Chain A
Amino acid sequence: MSFRAKSTTDDGVVTIRLIGDLDSRSAPVLNELIAEIDAQPVRRLVLLVDELAYLSSAGLRCLVFAHQKMGRGVDIVLVGVRPEVAETIRLTGFDRSVIMQDPVET
C-alpha cells in the first residue's frame, strides 16, 4: 500500500494523518514533513494512525527524528494505533516515548 501524510496546524497543535505503509521507502516523506513543521512553534504533535497499516523500524526512526527535532517538551500522541503496529511500538519500548490513545468517538 502506498503512503500518504497530510498535516494541519491549529494553535500550536500539529496533526498529521498517516495512511498506508510507513517503511524505508516512505519514511523520508514523513521526515521531510516533520522537518517543515519544526520551522513553526509546536506544542503537541498528534499522529492519526488508524489508517496506518504497516510500520517498520524505519518508521520508528521517524518518531525518534520527531522527538529530536521538537524537543522533550512536545508530546507526541498516536491516535488509533492498529494492534500489529502497537506491538512493534511496545516491543521496542517506544510506548514509553509517545502517548497512545484510542480514537475519540464522534
Chain B
Amino acid sequence: MTQHRLRLREGRCAGEELAEFVRSLARQAGLDPQQVYRLRLAADEITTNIVLHGYGDAGGVVEIEGEAGPDGVRLRIEDSAPPFDPHTHDPGPRLGAADPTEGPEGGFGLYLALRGLDYFAYDYVGGRNLNTLVVRRTSSGGTDGQDGRAGDR
C-alpha cells in the first residue's frame, strides 16, 4: 500500500495538480483508463464543490490523502468548511428533464462524482468533512449500486 498527500492551496480549484496526483496513484494500482478518468472526475468535482461552495469567499485548505494498493485506489478528501454530505444532493429531477439546459444552473458535479465511484462515504468528525472515495481495480467502475451510484455500505 502506497500513501500520498496533496494539499490544495487556499481558494484554488483542483486542476492538473490533482489530475497528476490521481494518475500517479492509479498507475500504481493498475486502474484502467476509464477508471482513472472517473476517479479524477469525482475528486475534481468534490474538491471544486468544497472550494467554491463550502469555503466560498472565506477560503480554506483542502487536504487529500491517497492510497494505492492491489485492490485499487482510496482517496480521503478533508476540509473544515461547514458540514456538507454529498449524498444529500440529488439532481434527479433535472436529469429527467427533456432539456437539461433549461432551469437553474449547476447540480451535476456531485452526481457525476458519486456515479463514477465504487464506494463513497461521508463523515463529519472534529469539525471536519471527511469524504472517502474508492475505485476498485477489478471493478468496471460505478456499477456497485442498483442504480449505478456508489453506496455508503
**A residues lining the B interface (CB < 8 Å):** 1-2, 21, 23-25, 54, 56-58, 60-61, 63-64, 67-68, 83-84, 88, 91-94, 96-97
Contacts and interface: CB of A to CB of B under 8 A. Distances in A.
B95 interface: yes
Interface string B98-112: 111100011011011
Secondary structure class of chain A's binding surface, majority of residues: helix
B101 A64 contact: yes
A61 B45 CA distance: 13
Given A54-B40, A84-B37, A96 B98 contact: yes
Nearest to B34: A84
Contacts of B108: 57, 60, 92
A96 B100 contact: yes
Given A91-B115, A92-B112, A56 B44 contact: yes
28 contacts: A2-B16, A23-B13, A23-B48, A24-B13, A24-B44, A24-B48, A24-B52, A56-B112, A57-B108, A61-B105, A61-B106, A64-B100, A64-B101, A64-B105, A68-B101, A83-B34, A84-B33, A84-B34, A84-B38, A88-B112, A91-B115, A92-B108, A92-B112, A93-B95, A93-B96, A93-B100, A94-B100, A96-B99
Nearest to A95: B100
Contacts of A97: 99-101
Given A23-B13, A91-B112, 5 more contacts: A91-B111, A91-B115, A92-B100, A92-B112, A97-B99
Given A24-B52, A97-B100, A92 B105 contact: no
A65 B3 CA distance: 40
Interface in B7-51: 13, 15-16, 19, 33-34, 37-38, 40-41, 44-45, 48
A93 B97 contact: yes
A64 B106 CA distance: 9
A76 to B, nearest CB: 9
A2 B108 CA distance: 23
Q: 7 nearest interchain CB pairs? A: A57-B109, A67-B101, A57-B108, A84-B37, A93-B100, A24-B13, A92-B108
Interface in B80-124: 94-101, 105-106, 108-109, 111-112, 115
A24 B101 CA distance: 18
B45 to A, nearest CB: 6
A7 to B, nearest CB: 20
